[in-house]
A and B are shown apart, each in its own frame.
Chain A
Amino acid sequence: DTAVSQTPKYLVTQMGNDKSIKCEQNLGHDTMYWYKQDSKKFLKIMFSYNNKELIINETVPNRFSPKSPDKAHLNLHINSLELGDSAVYFCASSLQNEQFFGPGTRLTVL
């Protein structure tokens, strides 16, 4: 009965690899987000989709590509992973202002 779920929870990979993180919400929300939380706990928005359309795209390297196959899913694909991509990535969804967060995916790039 998890509202916002992400897979995998942990992801360890080598520099240069390509990886994806998946997110699903069963709340019927129209808007979904990806956030990055760095080692200092700073939480910053990366992307937002509303009804499968991109509405927010912060200054993120184009190695990061979000994809929303439907309203309930927002996946994040990362190409050519770099050491600086190591962080915890959170998916969130909202109907209006309040955003509901997933449990996070801890990405470690070696």
Chain B
Amino acid sequence: GESVGLHLPTLSVQEGDNSIINCAYSNSASDYFIWYKQESGKGPQFIIDIRSNMDKRQGQRVTVLLNKTVKHLSLQIAATQPGDSAVYFCAENGADSSYKLIFGSGTRLLVRP
């Protein structure tokens, strides 16, 4: 059931604070990265993506940062809201197929009211 999700790394933040979720990716040849949000009982939902020729991209309340030197990706959520509570996944496209996404292990974000 859902309780096994507690094995996920968990980030707990106060409502209104900013959240930063980190991800280390595996393949230095990956040229496309994407963040997904998965709410309980639902499928992953696109948040934001970035290509390897950029190091920062902003959306509405979200920013993705890419550091290719250390193969690190982060997702920043401004003014975190209770509706942001979910599991967040980063994914990379790998080098052998532009169709394939390789997902990270996920981080659970809990927003305290």
Contact = CB atoms under 8 A, between A and B. Distances in A.
Interface of A: 4, 31, 33, 39-45, 48, 50, 55-56, 90, 92, 94, 96-104
Contacts of B87: 41
A-B complex: 6 closest residue pairs judged by Cβ atoms: A101-B43, A43-B103, A39-B4, A101-B44, A97-B32, A41-B106
B46 A100 contact: yes
Given A43-B89, A97-B32, A31 B99 contact: yes
Nearest to A106: B41
Q: Which residue, of B44, B87, B99, has the highest number of chain A Cβ atoms within 10 A? A: B99
Contact of A104 (B42, B46, B49): B42
B105 A90 contact: no
Contacts of A41: 4-5, 8, 38, 87, 105-106
Interface string B88-102: 010001000111111
B61 interface: no
B98 A56 contact: no
Interface string B32-43: 101010100111
Contacts of B41: 103-104
Nearest to A99: B101
Given A48-B100, A98-B34, A104-B43, 9 more contacts: A40-B7, A40-B8, A45-B101, A45-B102, A48-B99, A90-B43, A97-B34, A100-B46, A102-B43
27 contacts: A41-B4, A41-B5, A41-B8, A42-B103, A43-B44, A43-B89, A45-B101, A45-B102, A48-B99, A50-B99, A55-B97, A55-B99, A56-B99, A90-B43, A92-B43, A94-B99, A97-B32, A97-B34, A98-B49, A99-B101, A100-B46, A101-B36, A101-B44, A102-B43, A103-B43, A104-B41, A104-B43
B66 to A, nearest CB: 15
